[in-house]
Amino acid sequence: MMKNNIFFQTAAKLFSILVFIYLLARILLLFNLTRMFVYIDIGEEASYMSPIYKNASLKQILNLNEINIGADDIVSQNIDEPLKASLNVEITRVRQENKQESKTIPYRVIWRRQYDSNLRKVELQKGVEKHIAMEVLETFHNNVLYYSNVLNERSIALEYYRLLLLSKDDTVEKIYDLSKAKRIKMIATAYYPGDPLAWGDGTITFLGHKMQRGIVAVDPSVIPLRTRLFISGYGYGYAGDTGNAIKGNRIDLGVNNAEEEKSWMFREVTVYILESSNKW
Instruction: Find the helix or strand (DSSP H, E) in which 2 lies.
Output: helix 2-34
Tally DSSP H helices, then E strands, for the chain: 3, 14
- Residue closest to 242 by CA, chosen among 187, 205, 268, 189: 205
- Residue 1, helix vs strand vs coil: coil
Average pLDDT for residues 35-45, to the nearest whole number?
77
Q: Whole-structure pTM over 0.75, yes or no?
A: no
**Does position 32 have pLDDT exceeding 80, yes or no?**
no
For residues 28 and 246, the model is more confident at 246
**Does position 31 have pLDDT exceeding 50, yes or no?**
no
- Residue 82, helix vs strand vs coil: strand
Type of residue at 172: V
H/E/C letters for each residue in 98-159?
EEEEEEEEEEEEEEEEEECCCCCCEEEEEEEEEEEEEEEEEEEECCEEEEEEEEEEEEEEEE
Q: What pLDDT is attached to residue 34? A: 41
Torsion sign over Cα 216, 221, 222, 223 = positive
Average pLDDT score, the chain: 87
Cα distance between residue 232 and residue 23, in whole Å: 99
Residue 132 near residue 116 (C-beta atoms within 8 A): no
For the chain, which domains are there? Answer: 2-92 (3.10.20), 97-174 (no CATH), 181-276 (2.40.40.10)
pLDDT tens string 164-198: 999 989 999 999 999 999 999 999 999 999 888 77
Q: Which residues contact 135 (CB under 8 A, 6 or more apart)?
A: 98, 99, 100, 101, 150, 151, 152, 153
